[in-house]
Structure 1
Amino acid sequence: MGKELLNLVKNQNILIESKETVLLSWISYESLQKLLKLHDIDKNLFLQEYGGGVFDYFMGVIAGSVKIGNCPIMQKLLLYLKDKDIRSDELFEICSHFKRGMVEFTFDAKINSKELFDELSYIFDKNFQSILKYYSDTIFEKEQEITRHVKLLNEYQKALDESAIISKMDQNGIITYINEKYVKLSGYSTDKLMGSKHSMTKHEDMPEEYFEDMWFQLENAGIFRGTIKNSKKDGGYFYIDVTIAKIIDPYDDSIEYISIGNDVTTLIDARLEAQKASHAKDYFLSNMSHEIRTPLNAILGFVNLLIDQEDLSKQHRKYLEIILNSGENLLSIINDILDFTKLRSGEFTIEPRIFSIHNEISHTLELFVASANAKDIVLTSFIDPTIPKELYADSLRIKQILSNLLSNAIKFTKVGGHIHVEAVCKKNNILKVSVNDNGIGIAQEDIRSIFTAFSQAGRWEAAELEGTGLGLSICHQLAEHMGGSVHVTSKLGEGSTFWVEIPVEIHDYECQMFSDLDELKRLKTIFYSKDMIRGYKADSFLKYSDMFNMSIEMVDNLDGEFDIAIFLDDYIEGEIKENIINSNKKYVAITSNPSDKYEKYPHISSACFPLYCSKIRTTFEELLYPDSFSVHKQSKSMKFQGHVLIAEDNEANQELIKILLTKYGLTYDLATNGLEAVNLYKAKKYDLVLMDEQMPVMDGNEAVGNIIKYEKERGLKHTPISALTANVIKGAKERGLKSGFDSFLGKPIVIKELERVFFNYLQVSEEAVECLELVEHINTIEGLDYDKLSQELMLSGDELIMLVELFLKKMAKQIPDLHSAIKSRDYKKIALIAHSIKGSSGNFRIESVQEEGEKIEKMAKAKEKDFDYEHSFEKIKIALEAIKVK
């Protein structure tokens, strides 16, 4: 050991027994506490993980069981502190306070002596020498590593400077670095560029909104990618394809932005020239189509009028029907051309929204039942019940593709054929929708060109078929616009299968599969099929029942015991049909064509192809609960469980939301501004927050930020927040979601959208509220569509009158205030009042007031001096004066 520790050995038991006292003394010194706080070191963690270990090491040295000079616990502490940039003098202070604590304890315990102090100092000095050496070696290694990284980064910079256009700017847009490539390309000198605003090279063709979006993305995502057109010193221009990244200096929190790009001027010029030529062609097609459609609409209109004449001869009626048929075909061709030219010109936009694929496909299928039945074609379907309930994509374009594929299938399938539609969602969130027919098929040599514009495959009797040949090309381009693809397999004379695959986002993982089928499963259900044949028609139902885990036995007679028997109407005749009609048992008839022949028999419920989840469910419910489907039934609306925070400053909106929440069985608290909402949120527990975006004191976006910050600081579970907003400008929703909103509710409030939010975030109550059939009422409100509002908002007459009176009272105050603000040109006040009027009137579907309010708000925000505020104000005033409660 090099020195005997007689005094320490003698008093070691006293020290060990007082371990906790010594450790608490160690961290009680003010300067040590400041050090721990400065480097964000938890006191309890420091004592438990490190302090106790250091004490035990010292006791081991005294006992002679541990070698002096290299405390492993101190090395462990240094590893913990390596990312906290602790200095050597701070390290010494931490260690010396331990020594100080030990020495002070010896005085308090009255065991102190000069010899004991020397022995303590000896152990401390030897240990600290080793720790300091370990610290210095580690720092030296870090410095060497930093030097290597700096050299490597310099090499990277050289490589980048040689191959790319590089510049840096600070958070004010001032250029702090520019490389030679940028200097040569722009024509400006380095001295001219350095210290100047980066916008000095901005080209007039670049809209201000582009750079607003750029800064928005840099602030929120930290990166921006795009193509920017710049001006040269000589008046020319150049395009740079750039990636701009936000860089934060960890030492002083300063921010700068580095831009790395490539010159793409030649490429873009060539592309623009090609686009000009393409646009000219598309403009010609589009213009020609519009010009033809105008007289064609008149022709079709007058033909329809003539067909309705009673004194037409059969021959003349036949001629008119031919003209009408041909005219409608021509109109369809023109519409195809317009869609095609929009896709080519870039005017066609994809607009994703939340939707149910089960609803969208079933509705689309029903549109084609009549045209399929006209050719005696059976249309079957299987929409996988496990597809999530809510997807996010452009449902309108998906339906357009399906409609095109169905239309083609019906066109190319002969009389008496079969078409099958299927939809599944793959594990990688790819929605696949396929259409299979047993029609005339496509030759293999034609398949490659099938999606090419203006082409039709050399199908049998193709000369007899009408159309542009654009349908499949439009499907192909629509799918590509959505990031998907269209495919086909076919065999000449046997049929074709077309399918589209579209990437979708899953908004609600709950699926369409019905969870409450226990009663159906308990019933003995059979499927009657002559000779036990299971063809495609039987499969169309049984595939669903298999998914529902309904144990259905296939039988070839109806003599046995059963609760429900399912049969295909096409294959039932004679005595069996009579027995079914006269039976006292329950049956489900599946028909190929729409028919009401079983409606008068309460024990028989019927469903027509195509079958899908909701149709099957309704068919069974009509059979089992006939009273619920009577004409004078009571309807039940859903109730939910939860406590909701409403943040809304508009009084009329407040009352409407309060009434709606009460109807859905929800409790609530009301805040009239963002600050009040934040304070309420901190004081109480909520299941959902409905937050208006634009409020006084603190707006909705700021309030949401404060709530999320509060949740993170306290490790709280996130409470879903839905925006209440009249702002429908493109990009507003995306920016709101980035701000922290979980979903969006537009104004005016739409009940289905409100229910969607409740379904997403709240528990459904088992209790249902009875909504009795509306009694006759006297319309006591002038100037509003009373029936429409009652139906859309699910409000009683008294509730609606109360809200309208509240609205008119508020308007009586706001209209003079708005007029006064317009006179004084107080733009801020004008915008605020107009926004409030716009939101309130939207709830009552007063479109003229909404539109004028939106105009005034937009113009006032832009401080447009030339806008005729008085004219818009008069329109609002006149529209409101027309509303009266009698």
Structure 2
Amino acid sequence: MERKVPILVKNRDIFMSAKEIILLQWVSYESPQEILKVHNIDKKQFLDDYAGGVFDYFIGVISGRVEIGDCPIMQNLLIYLKDRDIRADELFEICSHFRKSMIDFTYDVKLNSKAIFDEISFLFDQNFRGVLRHYTDTIFQKEQEINRHVKLLSEYQKALDESSIISKTDMDGKITYVNDKYIKLSGYSADELIGSKHSIFKHEDMPQEYFDDLWFQLKHADVFRGTIKNNKKDGDYFYVDVTIVKITDPYDNSIEYISIANDVTKLVDARLEAQKASRAKEYFLSNMSHEIRTPLNAILGFVNLLIDKDVSKQHRKYLEIILNSGENLLSIINDILDFSKLRSGEFTIEPKIFSIHEEISHALELFVASANSRDITITSFIDPKIPKELYADALRIKQILSNFLSNAIKFTKTGGHIHVEVTCDNEILKVSVSDNGVGIAKEDLKNIFSAFTQANHEGIENYEGTGLGLSICHQLSKHMGGDIFVKSTLGEGSTFWIEIPVEIHSKECKIFNDIDEIKALKIVLYLKDGTPNYKTESFLKYAKVFNTEIDVVESLDKEYDIAIVLEEDIDDKIREKILDSNEKYIILASKPDDKYEKYFHISSVYFPLYCSKIKSAFDELFHPELFCPYRVDGGKKFSGHILIAEDNIANQELIKILLDKYGLTYDLATNGLEAVNLYKKNNYDLILMDEQMPVMDGNAAVQAIIKYEKEKGLRHTPVSALTANVIKGAKERGLQSGFDSFLGKPIVIKELERVFFNYLKITKESIGTPNSSDTKCNIEGLDCEKLTQELMLSGEELRMLVELFIKKMQIQIPELQNAIELRDYKKIALVSHSIKGSSGNFRLEEIQEESAKMEGMAKNKDSKYKYEAAFEKIKDRVAKIKIV
């Protein structure tokens, strides 16, 4: 090669050092720039991946390292360019400007001569000959590939024409092609269809919105799939399952649409007939169920009324048989109604935020009576680690649980055991019900969830039913995205469970957090023989979750703060010890029993156990002021449902007693936020709202309620403030906040009645005044006669309220003293405010005045005020109040 290009060999280093200049010059010419731009070739990529390699190839040829005419870089360039349909003349143009750039460079550096021009041209000609050879081979391969594709596409088209209904339209929707199958199905000729729009087939049953969506899908997704009902030429109809695809040219320009369809007329007609028949059946079932329920509800209602009347023993027996039979019939009808809704598609799942702890515990309590009537014990474990707030259909979950429990009680013999367990892992809620009943044979298990099917239960009486219950549970679990399961052994029992996906709405897990007080206690579990059974295990399982230390003992002679005792383990000796003891006890009973109710050191709790029930048993022993042991019925004078928002326990109890006397029902909230949440869930005729409460005060709560009413378009519920604030301007500010009226503290009956008269309906009955014998209560330090008359209380009711007041003062007086010693102004204000509210209703003006003044001074953090002196006055006055 040195003999053919000696000048280039001699000046090789000059060219190598000018590589970047030569390449930039190459792509700076107008003609290469235009070609690169037309074929969307990135100039930088061309320089980096191809042009530089071509230059290096030329230097390699000059150096004698490679042969001329077989440039691998040019082969790569051809592969890159072949998909861009570059022409041979354009390829030549690009390559010739590389030669031009080399020659121009020789002029720039004064190397120009005819000889060097000839050498560069020689190299270019030899190289381009190889490029053309590769280009020709590439074009030939491409033509061969195109021919294969055309042949294959022809076969595809032939196959489609034979099997499917084919049409094509231009971009304006005009038909450009239809195959014979389309012509035969529609009844139109090719001449009638070509040039027409597809609307020629449009059936009146097809809404315009369907075709608007069709074009939207084609525009944004380039494809549409659906079922279309079309008209034939003779007025008949046909259905097609169709796929429409946008066709584009090599430059991604849309040019036409192709429609590939199949005739599904017979299939759709058959499906519509089946649906019509199914709807008729479901309508019949649903309608008949409603028609039967209407008179049956009336029958049951009047039977319930008659049972409450003074009827003979024989007649009462007949009424109970009618009631029991009617309730069974109503249960069957409800099953049929639910089943028909599920089958017809009318049934909907309605998820909401709920507490599984509350929902399951409420459902369990509904079955305690029926289980106890057969001496069956229900135990439970609702995992306290389950988050407090889940999102799912709580109603349907309870419906499934209720069906499981109903079956378990039905098929468990007297003295049996049923266990309910609820857990939640990885957002899957599992609810299971196990029993030690008759069980199910293996051959019956496969059909247990089928409609109208019941397993064979020989020897079991009274297991009437539709056979729909488990089928409904199966469908409900599927509707909620879950599943249902069963395992059973004949003669040993069964376990049914569901696994339902739920959303976690609140990450907070424990149902209650304030158990430190319980964990600090020395707790013992008395077992007669030292061995736990399934009942005591039910309690111990909760204790284990909360890491509560409980010692199992066989004797109650050791020291303890509280002893847990199973009712069936109590003999006469143990009972005598418990009743006469100064210690505290929780009795675990198989069924509700009030035999221990009069003993303040004993709390009785019956199975099934769950967190809130266990916690209440402890609270009843250590915080008796939280519980109201009495409820005295009074005459009715007003009708309505009231929401009470009050954080003071004594005030709560007084208001509850008064509302009972007036025949009013109520719900209780202990802070403003609770009140707002209760308001959103229930309907109330009147709200009694304390102004000062923790979490959210009364003013903020009223504003939140009014905002909710406006957002939902609800009628306004009147709100009366419960306030001890008599400062000038307080009522005006309250009216601006949204209060409709005001009740002062202490409560005056006439003022309370004024509010009731303004907002509630009056009934024909009137409230009876307490008899003189009822007003004797033997309480020192209070004007009992005045209080019973002013508050319309019996002596028993006043005594109960005073007991609560004394117990509360026993806690709050030391709290106030400690806060004063520490000069904890926030705590001083809080406790003195509570004492002020508690004392007002007993007309204890001295305590009320001193605590009110102390509250104001503490709020202002007045260090000069004599807190100790005021405290002694309050303490001394409280000490004078005694029940004798």
* TM-score bracket for the superposition, by shorter chain length: 0.5 to 0.7
Distance change >3 Å, CA 456–CA 222, structure 1 → 2: farther
Distance change >3 Å, CA 142–CA 268, structure 1 → 2: same
Shift of the alpha carbon at 1:206?
3.4
Give the match for residue 845 of structure 1.
none
Q: Deviations over 1:287-323 (max 9, x none)?
A: 22121122233334445555667x6777766665655
Gapped regions of structure 1 (runs ≥ 5): 635-749, 753-769, 805-886
- The reply to whether residue 139 of structure 1 matches residue 62 of structure 2 is no
Matches within 5 A, 1:608-687: none
Distance change >3 Å, CA 788–CA 227, structure 1 → 2: closer
Pick the aligned partner of 2:493 from 492, 495, 504.
Answer: 495
Give the match for residue 166 of structure 1.
166
Matches within 5 A, 1:228-239: 228-239=228-239
Shift of the alpha carbon at 1:21?
2.8
Shift of the alpha carbon at 1:464?
0.6
Pick the aligned partner of 2:697 from 774, 779, 796.
Answer: 774
- The reply to whether residue 192 of structure 1 matches residue 188 of structure 2 is no
Distance in 2 between residues matched to 1:622 and 1:365, nearest whole Å = 18
1:464 maps to amino acid:
N
Distance in 2 between residues matched to 1:278 and 1:83, nearest whole Å = 58
Give the match for residue 450 of structure 1.
448
Distance in 1 between residues matched to 2:226 and 2:136, nearest whole Å = 47
Distance in 2 between residues matched to 1:169 and 1:187, nearest whole Å = 19
Matches within 5 A, 1:575-614: none
Check conservation: 1:441, 1:495, Cα contact below 8 A: yes
Distance in 2 between residues matched to 1:68 and 1:134, nearest whole Å = 14
Check conservation: 2:16, 2:59, Cα contact below 8 A: yes
Distance change >3 Å, CA 379–CA 147, structure 1 → 2: farther
Shift of the alpha carbon at 1:8?
1.9
Matches within 5 A, 1:412-811: 412-414=411-413, 415-421=415-421, 435-460=433-458, 463-478=461-476, 486-500=484-498, 556=552, 772-776=695-699
Q: Deviations over 1:485-526 (max 9, x none)?
A: 644332222222334567x6x988998889x99x99xx9999
Distance in 2 between residues matched to 1:609 and 1:117, nearest whole Å = 106
Pick the aligned partner of 2:366 from 370, 380, 387.
Answer: 370
Give the match for residue 801 of structure 2.
none
Distance in 1 between residues matched to 2:606 and 2:136, nearest whole Å = 84
Shift of the alpha carbon at 1:208?
4.0
Give the match for residue 839 of structure 1.
none
Give the match for residue 205 of structure 2.
205
Q: Deviations over 1:448-504 (max 9, x none)?
A: 4433333322225554134322222333444566777644332222222334567x6
Distance in 1 between residues matched to 2:348 and 2:30, nearest whole Å = 64
1:198 maps to amino acid:
H
Name the SS of the counterpart of 1:498 in structure 2. Answer: strand
- The reply to whether residue 4 of structure 1 matches residue 37 of structure 2 is no
2:52 maps to amino acid:
G
Check conservation: 1:591, 1:609, Cα contact below 8 A: no
Check conservation: 1:593, 1:609, Cα contact below 8 A: no
TM-score scaled by structure 2?
0.58
Check conservation: 2:592, 2:605, Cα contact below 8 A: no
Give the match for residue 74 of structure 2.
74
In terms of Rg, which structure is larger? 2
Check conservation: 1:532, 1:554, Cα contact below 8 A: no
Check conservation: 1:229, 1:240, Cα contact below 8 A: yes
**More displaced, 319-328 or 107-116?**
319-328
Check conservation: 1:440, 1:459, Cα contact below 8 A: yes
Check conservation: 2:453, 2:468, Cα contact below 8 A: yes
Shift of the alpha carbon at 1:141?
1.6
Distance in 1 between residues matched to 2:88 and 2:535, nearest whole Å = 84
Distance change >3 Å, CA 437–CA 12, structure 1 → 2: farther
1:281 maps to amino acid:
K
Name the SS of the counterpart of 2:367 in structure 1. Answer: helix
Check conservation: 1:386, 1:511, Cα contact below 8 A: no
Distance change >3 Å, CA 487–CA 166, structure 1 → 2: farther
Distance in 2 between residues matched to 1:779 and 1:96, nearest whole Å = 88
Check conservation: 2:567, 2:587, Cα contact below 8 A: no
Give the match for residue 348 of structure 1.
346
Distance in 2 between residues matched to 1:145 and 1:589, nearest whole Å = 90
Gapped regions of structure 2 (runs ≥ 5): 628-644, 649-678, 682-692, 722-731, 739-884
Give the match for residue 846 of structure 2.
none
Give the match for residue 26 of structure 2.
26
1:295 maps to amino acid:
P
Shift of the alpha carbon at 1:60?
1.7
Distance in 2 between residues matched to 1:17 and 1:388, nearest whole Å = 77
Distance in 2 between residues matched to 1:155 and 1:497, nearest whole Å = 61
Distance change >3 Å, CA 77–CA 595, structure 1 → 2: farther
Give the match for residue 408 of structure 2.
409
Give the match for residue 296 of structure 2.
296
Shift of the alpha carbon at 1:64?
1.4
Q: Deviations over 1:75-117 (max 9, x none)?
A: 3334444544444344334433433333333333333333223
Check conservation: 1:779, 1:786, Cα contact below 8 A: no
Shift of the alpha carbon at 1:270?
3.6
Q: Deviations over 1:678-734 (max 9, x none)?
A: xxxxxxxxxxxxxxxxxxxxxxxxxxxxxxxxxxxxxxxxxxxxxxxxxxxxxxxxx
Check conservation: 1:166, 1:261, Cα contact below 8 A: yes
Distance in 1 between residues matched to 2:96 and 2:735, nearest whole Å = 79
Check conservation: 2:349, 2:479, Cα contact below 8 A: no
Matches within 5 A, 1:232-311: 232-254=232-254, 256-303=256-303
Check conservation: 1:588, 1:619, Cα contact below 8 A: no
Distance change >3 Å, CA 342–CA 507, structure 1 → 2: closer
Shift of the alpha carbon at 1:185?
2.0
Distance change >3 Å, CA 406–CA 82, structure 1 → 2: farther
Give the match for residue 335 of structure 1.
334
Q: Deviations over 1:537-565 (max 9, x none)?
A: 7887999999x9x9899975699xxx999
Q: Deviations over 1:603-660 (max 9, x none)?
A: x999986769xx899999999xx9xx999999xxxxxxxxxxxxxxxxxxxxxxxxxx
2:448 maps to amino acid:
I
Distance in 1 between residues matched to 2:495 and 2:713, nearest whole Å = 47
Check conservation: 2:357, 2:382, Cα contact below 8 A: no
Check conservation: 1:377, 1:416, Cα contact below 8 A: yes
Distance in 1 between residues matched to 2:70 and 2:733, nearest whole Å = 81
Q: Deviations over 1:184-233 (max 9, x none)?
A: 22222222223322232233333444444544555555544443333222
Shift of the alpha carbon at 1:387?
11
Shift of the alpha carbon at 1:57?
2.2
Distance change >3 Å, CA 175–CA 789, structure 1 → 2: closer
Distance change >3 Å, CA 802–CA 249, structure 1 → 2: farther
Distance in 2 between residues matched to 1:122 and 1:280, nearest whole Å = 92
Distance change >3 Å, CA 61–CA 407, structure 1 → 2: farther
Q: CA RMSD in A?
A: 5.9
Check conservation: 1:23, 1:52, Cα contact below 8 A: yes
Check conservation: 1:564, 1:588, Cα contact below 8 A: no
% of aligned pairs identical?
53
Distance in 2 between residues matched to 1:314 and 1:60, nearest whole Å = 121
Distance in 1 between residues matched to 2:492 and 2:464, nearest whole Å = 21
Check conservation: 2:428, 2:499, Cα contact below 8 A: yes
When the two structures are aligned, how many residues end up with a matched partner? 649
Give the match for residue 176 of structure 1.
176
TM-score scaled by structure 1?
0.58
Distance in 2 between residues matched to 1:620 and 1:111, nearest whole Å = 109
Check conservation: 2:2, 2:9, Cα contact below 8 A: no
2:180 maps to amino acid:
E
Give the match for residue 50 of structure 1.
50
